[in-house]
Amino acid sequence: MQSPSGVELAGLVGLLVAVPAVALLGNSGRRHTGAARRAHLILAAGGAIVTAAALAGVLSVLITTATPPRLGLGTAVAVGTALGILLLLVGTAVLPGAAESPGVAVRRLLDGLVVAAAIWFVGWVLLSEPTRILGDSTPMACPSVLVPAAFAVVSLGLTIVLGMHAHRPRLITVRVATGVTAVAFAAVAIASGICQDHDGVLLGGALLLPAGLFVIARAVEVADRPVQVVGDVADRSTTAYAFVPMGAMVVALGFHLARGGEFGLYGYLGAAVEGLALVTRQWLALRDVRKYTLELRRREAHFRELAHTDPLTGLANRRGLRKALLDDEEPQVLVGIDLDGFKTVNDMRGHDVGDAVLVEVGERLRRNLLDGDVAARLGGDEFAVLMRGTADEAMLTAHRLLAVLCEPYEVDGGSVFLSASLGVADTGELIRDADLALRYAKQRGKNRVERYQARYDELLRRRGTLESELRHAIDRDQLRLVFQPVVALPSMRPVGAEALLRWHHPSLGAVRPDEFIPVAEESGLINRIGAWVLEQAVIQLADWLAKGHDVWVSVNLSPKELHAVDYAGQVADVLAEHGVPAQRLVLEVTEHAVATDMEELISRLAELRATGVRIALDDFGAGYSSLGQLRTLPVDILKIDHALVAEPESRTGTAAPLVDVVVRIGHRLGLEVLAEGIGTPSQRAVVEEAGCRLGQGSLFGWGVPAEHLEAQLQTLRTGTRALPAPPKPAPPKDQPARSQVVALGPGMRQLRAVLPTDPSFGARTGEPSE
């Protein structure tokens, strides 16, 4: 064993300084998570291996007596440090910020290899014969040094590439790569110094190694905060920079050959690596371009589908419907669909419930269409169905869809009832014609199917004229009220009147209410017109009451008015302004308003009743009301629909049999019952026999101006009133039920049970009931 020199001892001390740097890298890896933790731990492992191999080599030199060249020891140190440098390169490539994916990290390494091969080739030219720039100091006796030298030039190339392409802030990544390069060149110096016994070279490597490790440790410590990398589908860097390395290789090769050099093994290795790296990098680039192209096509198809698809229901949108119209050359029929009263659902239940209803509509359309048919949502609550076939087949389909769409919608723990209007078109401009037919269906009362006819164009122009003129009808004094009397039965004495709106236009003439009221509702004019009707009716009622007439007045209430903000307050203000008792005013709400949202409707009606006015449920028996709803609705009067009053005798053997049922139900619930649409004495007789105390219809008078009805009221005040028929004695309640024969038709009778509370209880057993 020989005494160690001061230079060797200094090198050992320098290498020991690298141990704290490795510890710092390991501590940084433990503090991080995810990709940063993995990269830092790989760097720490690489630094530890390089340090351990270098320390082992220097200690071996100090304790052994081997004479230079120490090929075995130098080879061991070269291989050990090369393994550590490889790990340092991998850790640098996977650092957050160096590359956004493992694939990009591989491309970064290949780019570094391209630069490294050029540096290697130029170095070979400078170090080999005939240039031999280092002269006798060239480590030709230690070929194993070439292993860490190769990694050193790769590290240098990677540093250059990261300096050009790393994500900003790229300074941290470049600093790490620079530290790795310093460590790699230090390993070359240590292996070369040990092999050839160059103490100065060994000391330089021993000092450079901890310096490089501290640069790495400091860089990752500064980058202690996590780095977020947002990358594209493909790496956008190119290989244009490869022209510089290739140019350097060509110049070096020319210089080498011009000096009389030969193209040896190491030069061949450098050129081969350069070529393979470029080919591999280009292949990866082409694969990325292909992948990027496929991704662009997928995204384009996705966005094209979105452009033709309704995002809520998944059906086609208007653009998708037009595309289907152009793509299909077979005969087509278009069915336009619009939900009646859907805006009320949004206003009363919220848009979330409305969206759920629209989604369910889309599902129902899908389930009831054939293959090849296209269902579309055109916007809002408007849908369409494009189908192949004849117009007759489309009409059958439209009626089937109408029945399906009118079924209750169970959403958010409650039921929503909606009807629909459908328009069918089979020629011409399908979308326009179907829309015209749809509008006509709405004008004719909704909840129906209409097929397009040429005259709808004229109707549409008339509707536009009506809407334009209706906006000025109040200001131009074209609206007026008429009053249809409500009489007490059986005396037929007028006890009230229903205010009915009439519009007489100077050029259009008398416009029917069933024509202009839907226009007012769709155009948003109904609230203003309704306020005018309410005030005029209250003014007239105040005048009648001031003259001593004992009457009340009813006013029809639109669903839009009912859901207006503070409508109850508006009613109370009008009544107070004209001094009319609230109980003298009756507000009529139709069954279609009941069909939307019971909870909200009950709340609104309760607000109105709190003002003292009475509420009438109009058209009962023609809509969706149920017995359960009658028990909860805050109404005072039940108006029997005229369709029940006019039900023919031929169907059941008894004229209007449901009138008796409705009257009994209303009285049991404590409601006053009014039969409307009484047009004949026989209908009046049926209503009176059922026990209904109020009647309305053409038999008692049409809607007349206020002064005409006032004349009737004045006549009653000055004339003799008809005395009501004496009431029948009430049968004892504890008496058992009797049987009674009911005439069902000519020669047909049936036996039924009669309760003591039945008005016909007094008839003798077996006596036919009239």
Burial class (CB in 10 A: 0-12, 13-18, 19+), 230: exposed
Omega of the bond leading into 68 within 30 degrees of 0 (cis): no
Do the beta carbons of residue 613 and residue 581 sit within 8 Å?
no
Q: Does residue 704 come out as left (phi exceeding 0), alpha (psi in the -120 to 50 range) or beta?
A: beta
Q: 172 Cβ partners below 8 Å, 6+ apart?
A: 97, 219, 220, 222, 223
Rounded average pLDDT over 749-757: 42
Read off the pLDDT of each residue in 20-25 and give the average, rounded to a whole number.
Answer: 86
Going by C-alpha positions, the residue among 456, 469, 462, 460 that lies closest to residue 503 is 469
Distance CA 584, CA 516 (A): 28
Mean pLDDT value of segment 412-433: 87
Confidence (pLDDT) at 240: 60
Give per-residue pLDDT as tens, 435-470.
Answer: 989 988 887 778 999 999 888 888 778 888 999 999
Sign of the Cα pseudo-torsion (267, 269, 274, 279, in order):
positive
Q: Please name the residues in contact with 448: beta carbons below 8 A apart, sequence gap of 6 or more.
A: 402, 421, 422, 441
By residue count, the chain amounts to 770
Token pair for 59: 């200690």
Please report where in the chains the tokens 């490539």 appear, as a residue. Answer: 93
The torsion of the CA quartet 274, 276, 282, 284, rounded to 10 degrees, works out to -130
114 burial (CB, 10 Å; 0-12 / 13-18 / 19+) is buried
Q: How confident is the model at residue 529 (pLDDT cuts 50, 70, 90)?
A: very high
Residue 144: per-residue pLDDT: 77
How deeply is 307 buried, as exposed, middle or buried, from its count of CB atoms within 10 A (0-12, 13-18, 19+)? exposed
* HSE-CB of 368 using CA atoms within 13 angstroms: 18
Rounded mean pLDDT, 119-126: 79
Cα gap 110→102, rounded to integer Å: 12
Strands across the sheet containing 768-769: 748-754, 738-745, 768-769
Confidence of residue 720 (pLDDT cuts 50, 70, 90): very low
- How far is residue 25's CA from residue 692's CA, in Å, rounded to a whole number? 97
- Residue 28's H or E segment, with its range, is helix 6-31
Which is nearest to 675 in space by CA: 704, 707, 647?
647
Q: Do residues 110 and 277 make contact, with C-beta atoms less than 8 angstroms apart?
A: yes
Token pair of 291 as six digits: 């992948």
The enclosing H or E element of 586 equals strand 585-590
The alpha helices in 493-615, defined as continuous H runs, are 513-523, 526-546, 559-562, 567-578, 591-594, 598-610
Residue ranges of alpha helices (H) inside 32-101 are: 34-63, 71-93
Strand partners, 422: 337, 449
Half-sphere exposure of 117 (CA within 13 A, CB side): 25
Q: Does position 752 have pLDDT exceeding 60, yes or no?
A: no
Position 645 scores a pLDDT of: 85
Does 62 score more than 90 pLDDT? Answer: no
Q: What is the mean pLDDT of residues 407-424?
A: 88
Q: pLDDT at residue 211 above 70?
A: yes
Tokens of 280: 């591999």
Out of 152-166, 243-257, 452-466, 708-722, least confident range: 708-722
Residue 596: pLDDT band with limits 50, 70, 90? low
User: CA separation (Å) from 137 to 81, 148, 417?
Assistant: 21, 18, 97
How high is the mean pLDDT of the chain?
81
Q: What is the DSSP letter of 511?
A: E
CB count within 10 Å of CB 749 equals 14
Q: What are phi and psi of 445, to 5 degrees?
A: 115, 0
708 pLDDT band (50/70/90 cuts)? very high
Nearest to 107 by CA among 260, 231, 227: 231
Confidence check: pLDDT of 226 > 50: no
Predicted local distance difference test score (pLDDT) of residue 100 = 64
Cα distance between residue 337 and residue 107, in whole Å: 57
CA triple 423-426-431, angle to 5 deg: 60
190: nearest Cα among 198, 182, 202, 179: 202
Cα angle 631, 637, 643 (rounded to 5 degrees) comes to 95
pLDDT of residue 644: 85
**Residue 502 binned pLDDT confidence (cut-offs 50, 70, 90):** very high
573-580 long-range Cβ contacts below 8 angstroms, 24+ apart: 574/534, 574/535, 574/538, 575/538, 575/611, 575/612, 575/613, 578/538, 578/539, 578/541, 578/542, 579/542, 580/538, 580/541, 580/542, 580/545
Q: How far is Cα 211 from Cα 296, in angstroms, rounded to an integer?
A: 47
SS3 188: helix
What pLDDT sits at residue 253?
Answer: 79
pLDDT of residue 265: 78
Residue 616: predicted pLDDT: 93
For residue 166, count CB atoms less than 10 angstroms from its CB and return exposed for 0-12, middle for 13-18, buried for 19 or more: buried
Sheet of 332-340: strand order equals 374-379, 382-388, 332-340, 419-425, 449-451
Scan for tokens 């055109």, then name that residue: 378
Give residue 743's pLDDT band: very low, low, confident or very high (50, 70, 90): very low
- Pick from 290-294, 332-336, 733-737 the range whose average pLDDT is largest: 332-336
Strand (E) positions, 65-204?
Answer: none
pLDDT of residue 622: 62
| pLDDT score for 721 | 43
Q: Of the ranges 219-223, 272-276, 376-380, 654-658, which one carries the lowest mean pLDDT score?
A: 654-658
Query: How confident is the model over 143-178, as pLDDT tens digits?
Result: 778 888 888 888 888 788 777 766 545 677 888 888
| Cα dist from 347 to 212, 354, 705, whole Å | 71, 9, 37
The secondary structure element, H or E, covering residue 415 is: strand 414-416
pLDDT in the model for residue 594: 55
- For residue 168, give Cα distances in angstroms to 6, 172, 246, 702: 45, 9, 28, 86
**Strands in 418-514 per DSSP E:** 419-425, 449-451, 479-488, 493-505, 509-511
**pLDDT mean over 363-384:** 91
* Nearest one of 387, 379, 389, 394 to 319, comparing CA atoms: 379
Residue 704: per-residue pLDDT: 94
Cα distances (angstroms) measured from residue 484 to each of 408, 666, 683:
36, 23, 18
3-state SS, residue 309: strand
The distance from CA 283 to its chain's CA centroid, rounded to whole angstroms, is: 42
| Per-residue pLDDT, 235 | 45
pLDDT at res. 162 = 75
SS (H, E, C) 564-585: CCCHHHHHHHHHHHHCCCHHHE
Largest CA distance in the chain: 150
Tokens standing for residue 594: 């009941």
Beta bridge partners of 425: 334
pLDDT value of residue 39: 84
Instruction: Check: pTM over 0.85? Answer yes or no.
Output: no
Tell me which of 178-192, 604-618, 752-766 is least confident: 752-766
Q: 473: pLDDT confidence band, cut at 50, 70 and 90?
A: very high
* Local confidence band at 347 (pLDDT 50, 70, 90 cut-offs): confident
Does residue 668 register a pLDDT over 50? yes
- CB hemisphere CA count around 296 (13 angstroms): 8
Tell me the helices (H) and strands (E) count for the chain, helix number first.
27, 19
